[in-house]
Amino acid sequence: KIIIDGKETAEYTFAMNYYWMMGDNRHNSADSRFWGFVPEDHIVGKASFVWLSLDAEKSFPANIRWERLFRKVR
């Protein structure tokens, strides 16, 4: 069952775009898995570059992906 404004409905059309936001996993950061999709008018700014990229399969410092650091986000 889907209830909107107290009434059961079978369909819904979103009025604006919603985005899934990913956290950086630093110090237990939350992301859309925790608080859900974000409406477009709640987004401030945008990502511009990769600050840090690590390979989970390796240990420090060999896990640093030097070729990705400070690359522009497309």
Alpha helices (H) in the chain, listed in sequence order: 32-35
Q: What is the mean pLDDT of residues 50-70?
A: 90
d(CA 57, CA 53): 12
The amino acid at 7: K
CA–CA dist 21, 34 (Å, integer):
10
Per-residue pLDDT of 31-56, as tens digits, reads 788 888 899 999 888 888 888 888 88
CA dist 66 and 68 (Å) reads 5
Give the residue extent of every domain in the chain.
Answer: 2-42, 44-74
Q: What is the average pLDDT value for the chain, to the nearest integer?
A: 86
Q: What is the model's pLDDT at position 74?
A: 80
Is the pTM above the cut of 0.75? no
Neighbouring C-alpha atoms within 13 Å toward the C-beta of 53? 11
Position 26 confidence tier, pLDDT thresholds 50, 70, 90: low
Given this model, what pLDDT does residue 6 score? Answer: 92
